[in-house]
Chain A
Amino acid sequence: MNHFQVPPSPPRWATRLLHWYCAPELLEEVQGDMLEEFYFQCRHNGVAAARRDYVRNVLGFMRPFAIKRKSSPSYPLLPMNMIGHYFTVALRQVLRHKAFSAINVVGLAIGMTCCMAIFLWVADEKAVDNFHAKGDQLYNVYMNVRSASGVESVYNTPRRYYDSAVHILYEDAKEVVPEVEGIAYYATGYSMPWGKAETFQVGDKIYKLEGSRASNDFLTMFSYPVIAGDPKTALQDIKGLAISRKMANLFFGSPEEAIGKSIRYENKRDFQVTAVFEDLTPQSSRKFEFLTNWDAHLKGGMEWSSNNMEATFLLAAGANPEEVAVKINKLVQPRLDKNQPYSVEIGLQPYRDQYLRANFSNGKPSGGRIEYVRIFSGVAIFILVIACINFMNLATARSVKRAKEVGVRKVIGSPRVYLIGQFFGESLLLSFFALALSLLLLQVLLPVFNSVTGKNLVAPITSLPTWITLIALALITGILAGSYPALFLSSLKPVRVLKGAVQFTQNAIWFRKGLAVFQFGLSILLLIATIVVSQQTSYMQSMNLGYNKENLLYFTIEGELSKYDKFQAFKQKALQLPGVRVIDRSSEAPHAMKFLVDDNDGSAETDEKDESAIKWEGREKGQMVGFKPTSVGFDFVKLMDLHVVEGRTFSRDNATDSADAFLVNEQAVKEMGMKDPIGKWVSAWKKKGHIIGVLKDYNINSLHERIRPLIVDVKEYEYFGVILVRTEAGKTKEVLAGLENVYKELNPNYPFSFRFVEEDYNDMYRNEQVMSKLSNGFAVLAIIVSCLGLLGLVMFSAEQRTREIGIRKALGATVSSIVSLLSQDFVKIVLVSFVLATPIAAYLMHQWLNGFAFKIDLSWWIFGIAGMAALVLALLTISFQAIQSARANPVESLRSE
């Protein structure tokens, strides 16, 4: 047996424990002492005792003095003497790699510009109706009307007709509910195209202006600045009228002059100007040039444009709106008509939310424009993220080259913080370059953006918070973008780097590929969204509406034209004008019919039981169908190019047609539940008659709404409504000149103001058009930024493989084989991102399309095109560099060896 045994050693776990906790700078001496003592003990007391003693020592050293790391000479992240050096190095880097730097800065600048433009827009949207000083206490009333057909929520005020007057059901809320400090009513439905501008006259000055009616608390509750007159009493008197500065200037020259002056309204009644308010800013969703007294509206016999009245409550500071709503409901419930086949419930919504959250689902505010705000905020962040990813991707890819630099710096003695500082410094330098560039871009592009969105955005470059935000943006971007290179590169071990052993780990490669996939996924998502949105928009524009909207103009019946004989005279004269084909009248603008009767909207204008305005043969008791009624002239069907699917249209030859005949549309037949409708009786208000024909369904309102039941009769003597003129194509100018002459002759007290149906129609889809243009723009930008990133990666990969390409070429590879070699990886990236992005895009677009009653199908070719486009663009970008590398003379690339 060999006595030459292995020398005794202390327990390994104890040594490991010591290594773990002991401060590195103390380890050597401490462990040395312990070992020495261990051998000493071995000699004197035996191995076992020595091992025990060693363990005791190791445990004994677990004291703060041994564990605490020496605070390395605290290197500040920004050592003052190094700043100059950082900038020099950063600038040299930027200048040496001009293409990379340009890609980085331009990409980042585009991202930032998008972000800024969108956030300006978002801030502007959020500012709407958010400027009222008492905004925290203002709550808008909405009514949930529950009936057999479900819940409908509307901004309206419940009321009943009794004691020969209309009563608002919570008119005494201010006295009964202590939290309610004020109630303001505001009538809607007076703006174009459905409402109309109203005519005011002072002496020989006549102007048409759009405005509304409001109750006395309106001017004190809302912060529309009153520049003359007393806001507290302005709307108290039945003759009271508040007007805008613009209107005051029009009629009286100045706001001060206007106070107390009389003004004639529609040649019917006189108002007295009691207050002048500042012209409204775009921040107010309500637009009015004037406000008349509320009683004049409710009881004073002024004509109603709609029966829609919005009510806003001013609650005591700190009041709980839900509790108040409960109290109001308690007040209202006993006053409702128990015989109505529906129930009504009141809800309160902060007034400032009304603009962005005007959609309801199941009786609760659920969305609206806020969705656009969210979508675009998301897009802005997406694009910025894409740009940041580019930055990270390029910097990471380049880090192989920088790795040697890092090694040398570390050997010379640079601590890790200095390196982190240097890399962050570089990315911050670039991000501030990008910020400067993006501010320039924003100045150039803002007018374009404004014309698309119809906003009047100004870059608030003079305000301090803006600069703080911008600098924060640049800092965040820079830090985000520089984080990977800064943290990864600075951690490299100098020995391995200088040996040339730096290889990207599989993880790092996955990371880079993942970033590229994410980026392309986002771009493809945006691309799909763009195609869907623009398809839907053009679908709505070109959709067959069921009537011909071209060369059709209309104007309001008013003044002299309200008289039957004057209308007939006008019609005769106008028909003789060259270019006029058909001319007729309708009590409703036929493309924007909003008047809906018998729908369960919760307000009853009569107190007769089970009284609905429209009845028909075979109607069950209590059955209600929401009809859109209109009264027209004999030529209406011809004028609008409508199709009669059954029966016949109105005819002058038929003596009974003006008293007895009704037309309905297919939808009405369906909802009334009629079979063989021709000849069945129907009645509308007091007029009873028979159905003579059924019209093919056509769109009587915007495409957001389904086609509702329509009932049409002939009333040529009605004093209100519109006159419609169908002109011959290309003769609009002559027709307008001629019509104006005839109009002036017959209706001298009113200005001739007309609109084209097509114009109105396009206005109804302004939102969608803006969406479509914006998403086009952003998709293009996102693709550009992504392609810039791809270009950078390809350039890098080509540079890395210069020698490989040279050798392949020398051995006989063709240009195309090298191009495909370089492209393969990237094509895979695009394919993967396509596969990932498609289902998400399909889901999102499906949600968006649900907001339309008439919508396109999400067919596969939309996704196909988006995928192909992304692939083609990516390939073009890649080939830009790949072909260049592939064609390079191998001698050039191999000579450097």
Chain B
Amino acid sequence: MKRVYLGEFEEIVLLIVAVLEGAAYGVNIMHEILEQTGRSVRLNQVHASLQRLEEKGMIVSKMSDPTPERGGRRKRIFSITAYGSSTLRDIQQVRATLWSAVPSNLKSFTA
């Protein structure tokens, strides 16, 4: 299997993009991360991470129509690509396999 490198934060951003489904853009993603994970992140971190993901081909973007709440500016809307979602699945699978191999006492201990 081709090894895909995805940082932990990148993985979260990618997951959020998948979750938001067509409404993912900078501020929105930032708020969603806070809500879902309780993690407070800065806007620039989100943007940098989005840019990297786009370079890796996991997400694509297009500009939306102008919106009044942003002073008539457009948003860049991100959506996950097939490659992105297959990468997420791969990661998920690796985790699942590893998790099933973990001794049961540990599972119950942590649970």
Chain A contacts to B: CB under 8 angstroms: 28-37, 39-40, 56-57, 60-61, 63, 65-66
Contacts and interface: CB of A to CB of B under 8 A. Distances in A.
Among B26, B63, B70, the one with the most A-chain Cβ atoms within 10 Å of its Cβ is B70
Nearest to B77: A29
Given A61-B47, A65-B48, A65-B51, A35 B70 contact: yes
Contacts of A60: 42-44
B71 interface: yes
Contacts of A56: 42
Contacts of A28: 63, 73-74
Contacts of B35: none
B78 to A, nearest CB: 10
Nearest to A40: B27
Contacts, number: 59
Contacts of B31: 40
Contacts of A39: 69
30 contacts: A28-B73, A28-B74, A29-B25, A29-B74, A29-B75, A29-B76, A30-B47, A32-B67, A32-B73, A32-B75, A33-B25, A33-B26, A33-B27, A33-B43, A34-B43, A35-B69, A35-B71, A35-B73, A36-B69, A37-B27, A40-B31, A56-B42, A57-B42, A57-B43, A61-B43, A65-B48, A65-B51, A66-B44, A66-B47, A66-B48
B70 A36 contact: yes
Contacts of B14: none
B59 interface: no
Nearest to A9: B71
Interface string B11-33: 00000000000000111001100
Interface string B43-81: 110011001000000000001000101110111100000
Q: Which of A30, A31, A56 has the most CB of B within 10 A?
A: A30
Contacts of B63: 28-29
Nearest to B67: A32
A56 B31 CA distance: 17
Contact of B47 (A33, A36, A40): A33
A319 to B, nearest CB: 65
A61 to B, nearest CB: 5
Given A33-B43, A66-B44, 7 more contacts: A30-B47, A31-B73, A36-B70, A57-B43, A60-B44, A65-B48, A66-B48
B38 to A, nearest CB: 17
B27 A65 contact: no
A28 B47 CA distance: 13
A45 B70 CA distance: 19
A65 B71 contact: no
B34 to A, nearest CB: 11
Given A29-B26, A29-B75, A33-B25, A61 B70 contact: no
Interface residues of B, number: 20
Nearest to A60: B44
A534 B14 CA distance: 88
B55 to A, nearest CB: 10
Given A37-B30, A40-B27, A32 B70 contact: yes
Contacts of A61: 43-44, 47
Interface string B69-99: 1110111100000000000000000000000
Contacts of B67: 32
Nearest to B52: A65
A15 to B, nearest CB: 11
A37 B30 CA distance: 10
A715 B51 CA distance: 109
Contacts of B47: 30, 33, 61, 65-66
A63 B48 CA distance: 9
B70 to A, nearest CB: 4
- Which 6 pairs across A and B sit closest by C-beta, in order of nearness? A32-B73, A33-B26, A32-B70, A60-B44, A29-B76, A61-B44
B74 A32 contact: yes
A36 B67 CA distance: 10
A12 to B, nearest CB: 14
A57 B26 CA distance: 12
Contacts of A37: 27, 30, 43
A65 B51 CA distance: 8
A35 B67 CA distance: 12
Nearest to B73: A32
Nearest to B45: A60
A29 B43 CA distance: 12
A39 B67 CA distance: 14
Nearest to A29: B76
B81 to A, nearest CB: 19
B52 to A, nearest CB: 8
A59 to B, nearest CB: 9
Contacts of A65: 47-48, 51
A3 to B, nearest CB: 21
Nearest to A28: B73
Chain B CB count within 10 A is highest, among A28, A29, A39, A40, for A29
A689 B48 CA distance: 111
A32 B43 CA distance: 12
A196 B47 CA distance: 95
B76 to A, nearest CB: 4
Nearest to B49: A65
A244 to B, nearest CB: 80
A879 B42 CA distance: 73
A57 B44 contact: yes
A809 to B, nearest CB: 55
Contacts of B26: 29-30, 32-33
